[in-house]
Amino acid sequence: MPPFTEPNDDLHLLQRYAPILRFTKGELFFPMDAARYVEQCSLWLKPPGALPTRLVSKGQLTLDTLGVPREAPQGSRFFLQFVEPKPITTLARERLARTLRPDAERFVPGHGRLTTVGYTARLVDAFFSLSLLLRGRVPGDAAEAARDQYRAILAADERYCYYGRVIEQGDWKILQYWYFYAYNNWRSGFFGANDHEADWEMVAIYLARDSNDAWHPEWIAITMHDAHGDDLRRRWDDPTVEKNGTHPVLYVAAGSHAFYFQKGEYLSQIEIPILRPLANLLATLRRLTRERLLAYGVPLGDAADTPFSLLRLPFIDYARGDGKTIGVMGDAPWEPPTLIDDQTPWVRHYHGLWGLYVQDPFAGENAPAGPMHNRDGTIRLSWHAPLAWAGLNKVVPRATLPDAVQARRAEIQQEQNRLRQRTAELEAALRDLEIERAATQRQPHLADRYQHVLAEIERLTAEIQTINARIAQNEQTLDALGLYAAALQHHPHTPPDSHLHHPPQPLTPQDIRLARIAEIWATISASLILLISVSLAFIPPSWWAPAILLAMLIFILIESLFRRRLTRTLTALSLGLAAVAVGVLVLEFLRFIIIFIMIALSVYILRQNIRERFGV
């Protein structure tokens, strides 16, 4: 590492805190130099309603030529193509060789992802798998071709690279680490949601100045599935953030390359855009139902199909950390970072995709855009507003927090002074109006004036009440800020996870170590439901309702047995049957119930009238 004369030099800061990445055994693609990838690509333009046109052939493209601004008709899409389809004979030969390769090189999946979710998610997953036959997707041999091309690049010069961006916003200095991968083989290699050429992932470390005016890390944020805002970041001193010296250790999910702070297997659930309105409606209904039941003291456990998983596709992110480690004291070191910023031509001017554009309506199989842009060419939130991306635009650096608390107290105290002055003015005006009201109260010829005065008195009284409520609230807030300021002096560190809402957690052994028969059941249940639905066509319609209810009951009991929820399920079924029985009785004896209620109301009203009349 070259010497640096300035300890806060941007390049030095990037290298000092460069993350250590731990991959899963079986991972095929690692962070690389984007320039060598681009040199192996061709550049294409897909106009609307027309076939793609090759603009630059493979071997003639560089980052410099990629960064040349280009114009195209509205609705067009620029994209790169990294691999070409292989001959079927070559593909078959390579698959056979891969099947016979030593087990030590092969990824071993965990227990089935479908064991961790309910029936609805399994059915949605089944239809999603079928949709791959109809919608655009990356060809099946693309992952193998990409693997071969990447290995050839690595064999020529084995280097592991990242791109660094350093910016200052407000009181923060942000170190962004951008990692480029030649391919995402999550679906074909690790039973995930999608495959696509190229992959950009990012880690951000947020520095603030300490009492010595030196930059030090306070937060780290990562790109991950099923998280956004506050849940993307952890405080630097959080015990879940593993570190080797000044370098944080992160676990990279196999194939998808999402980051996690702890090693393990994570249930990742992908939302389907066309089902989003239905999912939102069901989530609202479920929330209202839960609130009503909780209001009546009904205990509620965690349901198998929560709003989070009801209409989402379940997949496992394998971030085991048992494969290659890149970084300090790892299997391979990092190359010095390549600095990028808003003015880097290929970052700024290339708005297209960094890999194959397959016109997938779900976008999951389309390649991503570069560090600066989303797939539609707009600028990423993590690029133009990295504080807002991680929910840090509302957070004050720790060193300046006591001063910020005192400044907020001073602002509220100034507001109190203004409010009290305003209250005094309004009360003086109110007293004048009360005098005028009393003077005009018995003067018929001043009726209009009298009504106007009454309206003004009512308006001023309401305004004074509002201001007084605000003053009282401010007083309580000032007390709370005073206690907070005192607490910061004695205990400057709040709990490191106090900002988290729904952070991703690795699956527990209870989640993934179900019995083998439970895993088999989870695998076949969705297909079995579809077959039972088809079998209804072979029985009389009058039997459909009993058959469906019986099948539902059997499925629910089997699932609850595997999930160790049989007692809870039987209790819920008992309560449900009791509610149905009550409903049947009410409908059967509705006339008598109404008569009884009317008689009871008559007796109650008569009793109240007698007590009022005779004082008894």
Q: Tell me the C-alpha distance between 93 and 124, whole Å.
A: 35
Q: Tell me the C-alpha distance between 137 and 196, whole Å.
A: 8
Do residues 341 and 209 share a domain? yes
Q: Give per-residue pLDDT as tens, 450-490.
A: 999 999 999 999 999 999 999 999 999 999 999 999 988 88
Mean pLDDT of 302-314: 49
**Contact of 158 with 1, CB cutoff 8 Å:** no
Q: pTM for this structure? A: 0.78
The alpha helices in 339-446, defined as continuous H runs, are 345-348, 381-384, 386-389, 401-440
Least confident among 55-64, 160-169, 292-301, 421-430: 292-301
Checking if the pLDDT of 613 tops 90, the result is no
For residue 259, the 8-state DSSP code is E
Do residues 385 and 466 share a domain? no
Q: Could you say which of 395, 411, 437 is where a domain stops?
A: 395
pLDDT bin (cut points 50, 70, 90) of residue 354 is: very high
**Percent of the chain whose predicted confidence (pLDDT) is above 90:** 54
Q: Which helix (H) or strand (E) holds 285?
A: helix 276-295
Q: Give per-residue pLDDT as tens, 480-516.
A: 999 999 988 887 778 899 999 889 888 776 655 554 4
Q: Is 25 exposed, middle or buried (CB count within 10 Å of its CB: 0-12, 13-18, 19+)? A: middle
* Length reported for the chain: 616
pLDDT bin (cut points 50, 70, 90) of residue 565 is: low
- For the domain that residue 415 is a member of, what is the CATH number? 1.10.287
What is the pLDDT at residue 567? Answer: 72
What is the pLDDT at residue 608? Answer: 83
What is the pLDDT at residue 522? Answer: 57
Amino acid (one-letter) located at 91: L
Least confident among 205-209, 365-369, 470-474: 365-369
447's tokens: 């009726």
Do residues 380 and 410 share a domain? no
Q: Tell me the C-alpha distance between 73 and 351, whole Å.
A: 14
Checking if the pLDDT of 431 tops 60, the result is yes
What is the pLDDT at residue 210? Answer: 86
Q: Is residue 223 part of a domain?
A: yes
What is the pLDDT at residue 614? Answer: 75
Do β-strands 172-184 and 42-46 pair in parallel, antiparallel, or remain unpaired? unpaired
Around Cβ 439, how many Cβ atoms within 10 Å? Answer: 13
What is the pLDDT at residue 136? Answer: 46
Checking if the pLDDT of 2 tops 50, the result is no
Do residues 112 and 249 share a domain? yes
Do residues 422 and 461 share a domain? yes
Q: How many domains does the chain have?
A: 3
Q: Is residue 281 part of a domain?
A: no
Q: Could you say which of 457, 490, 523 is where a domain stops?
A: 490
Q: Is residue 496 part of a domain?
A: no
Q: Is residue 320 part of a domain?
A: yes
pLDDT bin (cut points 50, 70, 90) of residue 438 is: very high
Do residues 72 and 103 share a domain? yes
Least confident among 161-165, 237-241, 376-380, 531-535: 531-535
Checking if the pLDDT of 7 tops 70, the result is no
What is the pLDDT at residue 616? Answer: 61
Q: Could you say which of 395, 430, 447 is where a domain stops?
A: 395
- When the pLDDT of each residue in the chain is averaged and rounded to a whole number, the result is 83
Do residues 391 and 403 share a domain? no
Q: Which helix (H) or strand (E) holds 80?
A: strand 77-81
What is the pLDDT at residue 516? Answer: 46
Q: Is residue 292 part of a domain?
A: no
Do residues 485 and 569 share a domain? no
Q: Tell me the C-alpha distance between 164 and 9, whole Å.
A: 13
Q: Give per-residue pLDDT as tens, 533-551.
A: 777 778 888 887 887 777 7
What is the pLDDT at residue 307? Answer: 40
Do residues 51 and 182 share a domain? yes
Task: Name the β-bridge partners of 489.
Answer: none
What is the pLDDT at residue 531? Answer: 77
Cα-based torsion angle of the residue sequence 355, 359, 363, 369 in order, rounded to the nearest 10 degrees: 30
Q: Is residue 529 part of a domain?
A: yes
**Contact of 369 with 178, CB cutoff 8 Å:** no
Residue 249 in 3-state DSSP?
strand
Give the structural domain span for 528.
509-591
What is the pLDDT at residue 310? Answer: 46
Checking if the pLDDT of 70 tops 90, the result is yes
What is the pLDDT at residue 220? Answer: 98
**Contact of 249 with 242, CB cutoff 8 Å:** yes
Do residues 470 and 560 share a domain? no
What is the pLDDT at residue 91? Answer: 59
**Alpha-carbon distance values, 21 to 27, 279, 507 (Å):** 12, 35, 21
Distance of CA 478 to the CA centre of its chain: 35
Q: Is residue 501 part of a domain?
A: no
**Percent of the chain whose predicted confidence (pLDDT) is above 70:** 75
Least confident among 30-44, 211-225, 288-302, 474-488: 288-302
Q: Which residues contact 283 (CB under 8 A, 6 or more apart)?
A: 307, 310
Q: Is residue 191 part of a domain?
A: yes
Q: Give per-residue pLDDT as tens, 370-428.
A: 999 999 999 999 999 999 999 999 999 988 999 999 999 999 999 999 999 999 999 99
Q: At what angle do helices 544-562 and 516-535 cross, to 10 degrees?
A: 170
Residue 457 in 3-state DSSP?
helix
Do residues 80 and 146 share a domain? yes
Do residues 32 and 161 share a domain? yes
Question: What are the helix and strand counts (H, E) for the chain?
Answer: 18, 16
Checking if the pLDDT of 12 tops 70, the result is yes
